[in-house]
Structure 1
Amino acid sequence: MDALRYLQKIGGVARTRQLLAAGYSRADLARLSSQGARQPRRGVFMLGEHKPELAAALRHNAHVSCASAAPHYGLWLRKTPDLHHLACNHGHGLGFVRHRTNRFDPHPTLPIAAVEDVVLHAMACLEPPASTAIATSAIRLHGVPLELLKDQLRGDRSRPVLDALNELDLSAESIVEVDAQHLFRTHGIAFNSQVAIPGIGRVDFLIEDFLIVEVDGFAYHSSRKSLRNDLARNNASMVNGFLVLRYPPEVIWFEPERVLAEIRAVLSLPRDAPPRFVTQ
């Protein structure tokens, strides 16, 4: 792989020493200028198409972190931040959200904080459910230990953060499930999540042991087979005495009042026959 393709692969911006450490010669770097790369400052090569958060990190001698680093690790994030979130140990520079402490070794080749620091910064910076979605996905996808996060954030000033960590439901399989959990919890709706019901299968949420709430992902009904399976599950739910509400992600995110109103309306319905399944 030549130096230009490598530079494209790592986000379109890199320091000279990173390119040299990757095995490229000074002659290779000299050719980058003729291939469209520019040097906005000494020791930095940048392509026209580059990751702006990486460029900001190099410009400010920092590491990308928090919400800005979440996509690099595949962490669950619904909204890209308006400002770059950077971790640095100095007070210089403006126009970005500053995170002061890096506790772990950063990414080995890119100016990105360790995934553990990304979560710790997000927990202290963002409000739930954005923070808890990042934490849940880091634990599920990268094996970040929950106890490690708690140990790093102990102290009186971190009590709300620790409370949020203690409330994490690691059964959540997507960001929209985390958002639904937060919506239910903050509005006093008790639920069980990822419940396996005989004859029906695993459901996203079970409320008061008779109302099933399913949060459909983006791949919902992506095939005829998935449509048949979901119709069969709905029918099995009704046969077994359950009621079902289903919501796509955009309704959970943009119409939460509708979701709450419909759930409460169903819960207020008279119940003549209880379902045949009771959660433990």
Structure 2
Amino acid sequence: MLSERTLISHPDHVVALPSAEAHVITCRRLGGVMTCEHAMKHYGIPLRKPPGPLHVAIPAQRSRIPDAIGRTVVHRVRGLLLPESSRPPVAEFEQALICYMRCADELDALIALDAALRIGATTRSQLEAALRGPRNKPLQALVSQARAEARSLLETIARHDLKRAGYRPVAAVSVDGVGEVDLVLSRRPDAIVPGPAEGTHILTMAASPALLVETDGYAYHSSPADWRRDHLRDQAALARGHTPLRLTSDQVLDRETVLIVSQVADRLGIRSDVTPGDF
């Protein structure tokens, strides 16, 4: 088969079909599994940008790393679970997520955490159990910030940026006559109370009027029916004294949320706890 080029020989006793992907061959050569961005993409977790260099997790006790593996980042992971050889070389989800949390910046890790909790790929209690000890305090803090009620990557980015700027946005808020809103800012955020479902909230009269921030991208609001519904929701919000504010996906991705929201929030008397020079 090798002589007929049905199979291709690679270093470290690996043979593969000509169509085999390079990152799979690298994993086989290392005796490890894809992790971090490539694993997140495999599991359907949203990313702000396509995966970069391949990250491979190998058992912590393995000492030798093969030569000529290209731009590959190798993680030594204690207790690494390796799939059967007949399955794709991808790290078990929770181990891949924790590895990604250690590698990624805070926002990208939070996007992955929100999505993982939202789709039920893991639970907060499972992550907390896996991240005990003082060494994991930064990751414990990240898990505490994660919100399963975040409906999209855009909502996570907007929430993260507003909180970092000193605001107190509340996600998944039911507003009377309007419906559920992505993020709500109020002069009295403490008066936004928990809703009937876990992670949901209700805007009370004490927290009104409020700034209602929507972050869904064009894909979610491109049909005539969606366009009409959004306008009716905005009209209902205005009739009740609230201020609706819709952010485009580009504005959120370009990290313009705070600049846009702060100008409206200031007019409504909703203040940040942080001075502009601090963020």
Q: Please confirm whether the aligned pair reaches a TM-score higher than 0.5, indicating the same fold.
A: yes
Give the residue type in structure 2 aligned to 1:133: I
Residue 219 of structure 1 deviates from its aligned partner by 1.3
Alignment partners' CA distance in 1, 2:79 and 2:39: 16
TM alignment of 1:110-259, pairs within 5 A: 110-208=88-186, 209=207, 210-254=210-254, 256=255, 258-259=256-257
% of aligned pairs identical?
24
**Aligned twin of 2:10:** 40
TM-score w.r.t. the length of structure 2 is 0.78
Look up the match of 2:76.
100
Q: CA deviation at 1:173?
A: 1.2
Whole-angstrom CA distance in 2 between matches of 1:213 and 1:223:
20
CA shift at 1:61, angstroms? 1.6
CA contact (8 A) 1:62 1:88 kept: yes
- Measured against aligned partners, the alpha-carbon deviations of 1:42-91 in whole angstroms (never above 9, x if no partner) come to 4421334x443322211222100111211111012122332111101234
Q: Residue in 1 aligned with 2:35?
A: 65
Distance verdict in 2 for CA 1:268–1:106, change over 3 Å: same
Is the partner of 1:161 in helix, strand or coil? helix
Query: Structure 1 64/44 Cα, relative in aligned 2: closer, same or farther at 3 Å?
Result: same
CA deviation string 1:85-105 (max 9, x = no partner): 110123414632222115463
Q: Quick one: distance in 1 between partners of 2:3 and 2:119?
A: 36
Q: Which structure is richer in relative contact order (CA contacts within 8 A, separation 6 or more)?
A: 2
Alpha-carbon deviations, 1:192-212, whole Å to 9, x = none?
Answer: 111011110000001014101
Structure 1: runs of 5+ lacking an equivalent: 1-29, 272-280
Unaligned segments of structure 2, at least 5 residues: 187-206, 270-279
Residue 264 of structure 2 is aligned to residue 266 of structure 1 = yes
Shift of 1:169: 1.4
Shift of 1:143: 3.4
Distance in 1 (alpha carbons) for counterparts of 2:41 and 2:9 = 26
**TM-score, structure 1 as length reference:** 0.77
**In 1, Cα distance between equivalents of 2:174 and 2:79:** 39
State the partner residue of 1:55.
25
Matched, 1:81 2:51: yes
Displacement of 1:218:
4.2
**How many pairs are equivalent?**
238
Corresponding residue SS for 2:143: helix
Check the 8 A contact 2:58/2:80 in 1, yes or no. no
Range with greater deviation from structure 2 (55-64 or 262-271): 262-271
